[in-house]
Amino acid sequence: MISCLYKKSVLISLFIVTVLLPFLLWADNLRFRIVAINPSQVRTQLVPVKVYLPEEVKPDDIIDLGGLNLEFDSQKSLYYVYKDGMVLKPRETRVFEVEIKDIWIIPQDELEAVKKRIDKLLLAFKGSSHYDEVESLSKRANSLISEIVNSQNDETISRSQHIGVYRTNVKSLARLKDEISDLEKLLETESGPLSPDILTKTKFKTLSPTKTATWIVIFSIIIFIGLLSLVFFFTWYRSSRATHDIISEARKISFGEEESQESTSIKE
Domain chopping of the chain, boundaries: 2-101, 108-201
CA 237 to chain centre: 66
For residue 4, the model assigns a pLDDT of 45
Using alpha carbons only, what angle is made at residue 68 by residues 62 and 69, rounded to the nearest 5 degrees? 75
Angstrom distance (rounded) from CA 89 to CA 44: 4
Residues whose CB is less than 8 angstroms from the CB of residue 158 and which lie 6 or more positions away in sequence, other chains included: 23
Pairing assessment for the beta strands 69-73 and 78-83 based on DSSP bridges: antiparallel
Contact 118, 134 (CB under 8 A): yes
> What does DSSP assign to residue 210?
P
Helix (H) or strand (E) holding 63: strand 62-64
Which stretches of the chain drop beneath a pLDDT of 70? 1-27, 191-209, 244-245, 249-268
For residue 208, the model assigns a pLDDT of 59
Contact 23, 162 (CB under 8 A): yes
Q: Does domain 2-101 have CATH number 1.20.120?
A: no
Supply the pTM of this predicted model.
Answer: 0.58
Render pLDDT for 61-111 as a digit per residue (tens, 0 to 9): 999 999 999 999 999 999 999 998 889 999 999 999 999 999 999 999 999
> Residue type at 170?
V
For residue 84, the model assigns a pLDDT of 87
> Residue type at 17?
V
Sign for the pseudo-dihedral over CA of 216, 218, 223, 224? positive
